Amino acid sequence: MPPPYQDILDHILIDSERLQRRIAEIGNEISEDYRDAHSLVMIGILKGSTLFLADLMRQIRVPHMIDFLAISSYGSGARASSGVVRILMDLRAPIEGQHVLIVEDIIDSGYTLDYVLRLLSTQQPASLSICTLLDKADRREVEVPIKYVGFQIPNAFVFGYGLDIDEYYRNLPFIGVVKDGVNLTQEHE
108 carries an active-site annotation: yes
CA trace torsion 79, 81, 87, 89 (10° rounding): 30
33 Cβ contact list (under 8 Å, min separation 6): none
Q: Which of 108, 135, 138, 164 is catalytic?
A: 108
Residue 34 φ/ψ region, left for φ over 0, alpha for ψ in the -120 to 50 degree band, beta for the rest: alpha
- Give phi and psi for 188, each to the nearest 5: -110, 135
- Residues designated as active site: 108
